[in-house]
């Protein structure tokens, strides 16, 4: 992109964000999680038997540890706290249904490496722990190990040792959008089945689970006080497994930012559509880039899963009403990449929000008196959330762990610019990427 187009994108982004910034500043502060609309069900949780329901917190309770957030990370923390010390009273509080946040809205990637940081001994131990958890709890999560994966590049100059380029790739992928592909392998699983297994494991371990119990205020101290709309929790310690919701709760506000995504899943493909999709040959696809990625995978019942970026909201707001413009843009972006998908009905559509850090590493460890955090997983997949939950549980109880050095508290992460500069920068970047994408 030329200098003039970059300047135009910057001006466009600045003009786009100013009304939003002013409206949010004048009318209301960051939306607490209580204001979020009911999350649309994701395909992954609809493709498993109905998950058990749990009552909202309707009384004041005193616990040893309260975990805020009932996704992969929070349920892992709760489970391993009880495994390490069964005498503890542990409660997990979720704002809506357990597993209804980012944990059921991802592509199910479970690599044995930390994306952006490569394959390490720590990552392998994390993957082995996740596998052992599934074995110990008798879970079939449809784990596919060492499965083929490709990273797609629009410009071959960005690809290192590509396996396919130009016309050969266009023919193999049935798409002329990309110009290079790099072969790889990864592991993937069914996120809904893992959530179901984590819930069952926590129940068996004796963890108290509460749904529709959004925490609207955290008061660090000794003890820590948590407030829900109607009740409160008094805890010796609190673990925040709140990912993109953390800044809105007042934590890691200058180290973390949120990106919003839209996911669609089609009806099962016909034999002809399946052949056109090339999902048999290329079942899992990542798009090269920074945060502006489009993810594709197949499902066990031959559906086409596609995720694209929606954008960023001022004040790291976590709510997003998908508009007709969002849908139109998503469809245009999809058909630029995969024209064969035109006209195929969509059975599932949902919004998801992910938490990002500039160094692509989670914020994890103590963050205030009596309060610890594990958040900002940067789309790193389910292995990282599980393993960081395991390591953080050890730290909170003062237990040794060989990978304690993975935990990186907020001050160790690069600084994120203040709100107005951040929002203008994000909108300018998004405008630039959309221009480049089109």
- Whether 50 and 108 share a structural domain: yes
Domain range holding 424? 3-30+420-437
User: 3-state class of 429 per DSSP?
Assistant: helix
- Whether 137 and 62 share a structural domain: yes
Instruction: Give the other-Cβ count within 10 Å of 116's Cβ.
Output: 12
- Whether 195 and 322 share a structural domain: no
Question: pLDDT value at position 389?
Answer: 98
* Sheet-wide strand order for 257-266: 164-165, 180-188, 144-153, 284-287, 295-298, 304-311, 257-266, 346-356
- Whether 228 and 336 share a structural domain: no
Residue where a domain stops, chosen among 340, 356, 372 = 356
- Whether 431 and 403 share a structural domain: no
Count of domains forming the chain:
3
Q: Domain for residue 413, yes or no?
A: no
Q: How far apart are CA 430 and CA 220, in angstroms?
A: 36
- Whether 330 and 365 share a structural domain: no
pLDDT tens by residue, 53-82: 999 999 999 999 999 999 999 999 999 999
Q: Domain for residue 272, yes or no?
A: yes
Q: How far apart are CA 205 and CA 193, in angstroms?
A: 18
Q: Cis ω on the peptide bond leading into residue 223 (within 30° of 0)?
A: yes
Q: Find the CATH number of the domain harbouring 306.
A: 3.30.9.10
- Whether 62 and 200 share a structural domain: yes
Q: What is the pTM of this model?
A: 0.92
Question: Contact at 8 Å (CB) between 349 and 40?
Answer: yes
- Whether 167 and 273 share a structural domain: yes
Token pair belonging to 364: 């994890």
Q: Domain for residue 412, yes or no?
A: no
- Whether 174 and 283 share a structural domain: yes
pLDDT tens by residue, 299-325: 999 999 999 999 999 888 898 889 999
Q: Domain for residue 92, yes or no?
A: yes
pLDDT tens by residue, 269-300: 999 999 999 999 999 999 987 665 789 999 99
The better pLDDT of the pair 65, 31 is held by: 65
- Whether 83 and 129 share a structural domain: yes
Residues 6 or more apart whose CB falls under 8 angstroms from that of 382 comprise 72, 103, 106, 108, 109, 110, 130, 189, 191, 194
Instruction: Indicate the average pLDDT of the chain.
Output: 91
Q: How far apart are CA 239 and CA 78, in angstroms?
A: 9
Residue where a domain stops, chosen among 317, 334, 356 = 356
Q: Find the CATH number of the domain harbouring 371.
A: 3.50.50.60
User: 3-state class of 437 per DSSP?
Assistant: helix
Q: How far apart are CA 225 and CA 143, in angstroms?
A: 39
pLDDT tens by residue, 112-146: 988 777 789 999 999 999 999 999 999 999 999 99
- Whether 72 and 205 share a structural domain: yes
């Amino acid at each position: 992109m030329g200098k003039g187009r970059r300047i135009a994108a910057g001006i466009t982004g600045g003009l786009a964000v100013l009304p939003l910034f002013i409206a949010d500043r004048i009318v209301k502060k960051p939306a607490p999680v209580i204001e979020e609309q009911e999350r649309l069900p994701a395909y992954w949780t609809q493709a498993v038997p109905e998950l058990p329901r749990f009552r909202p917190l309707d009384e004041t309770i005193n616990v040893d540890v309260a975990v805020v957030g009932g996704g992969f990370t929070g349920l892992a923390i709760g489970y391993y706290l009880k495994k390490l010390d069964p005498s503890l009273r542990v409660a997990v509080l979720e704002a809506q249904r357990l597993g209804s946040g980012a944990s059921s809205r991802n592509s199910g990637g479970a690599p044995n490496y930390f994306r952006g940081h490569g394959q390490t001994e720590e990552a392998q131990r994390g993957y082995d722990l996740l596998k052992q958890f599934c074995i110990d709890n008798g879970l079939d999560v449809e784990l596919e190990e060492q499965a083929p994966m490709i990273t797609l590049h629009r410009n071959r100059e960005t690809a290192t040792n590509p396996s396919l380029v130009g016309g050969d790739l266009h023919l193999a992928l049935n798409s002329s959008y990309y110009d290079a592909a790099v072969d790889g392998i990864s592991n993937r699983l069914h996120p809904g089945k893992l959530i179901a297994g984590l819930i069952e494991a926590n129940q068996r371990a004796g963890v108290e689970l509460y749904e529709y119990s959004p925490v609207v205020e955290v008061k660090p101290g000794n003890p820590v006080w948590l407030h829900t709309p109607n009740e409160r929790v008094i805890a010796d310690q609190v673990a925040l497994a709140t990912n993109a919701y953390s800044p809105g709760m007042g934590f890691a506000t200058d180290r973390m930012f949120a990106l919003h995504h839209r996911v669609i899943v089609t009806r099962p493909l016909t034999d002809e559509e399946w052949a056109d999709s090339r999902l048999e040959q290329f079942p899992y696809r990542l798009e090269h880039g920074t945060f502006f990625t489009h993810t594709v995978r197949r499902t066990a019942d031959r559906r086409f899963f596609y995720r694209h970026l929606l954008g960023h909201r001022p004040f790291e707001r976590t709510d997003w009403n998908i508009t007709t413009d969002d849908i139109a843009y998503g469809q245009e972006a999809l058909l630029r990449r995969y024209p064969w998908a035109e006209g195929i009905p969509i059975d599932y559509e949902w919004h998801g929000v992910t938490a990002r850090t500039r160094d692509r590493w989670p914020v994890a460890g103590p963050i205030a008196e009596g309060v610890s955090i594990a958040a900002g997983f940067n789309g790193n997949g389910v292995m990282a959330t599980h393993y960081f939950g395991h390591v953080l549980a050890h730290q909170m109880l003062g237990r040794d762990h060989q990978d304690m050095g993975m935990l990186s508290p907020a001050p160790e992460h690069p600084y994120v610019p203040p709100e107005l500069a951040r929002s203008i920068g994000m909108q300018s970047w998004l405008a630039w990427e959309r221009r480049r994408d089109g």
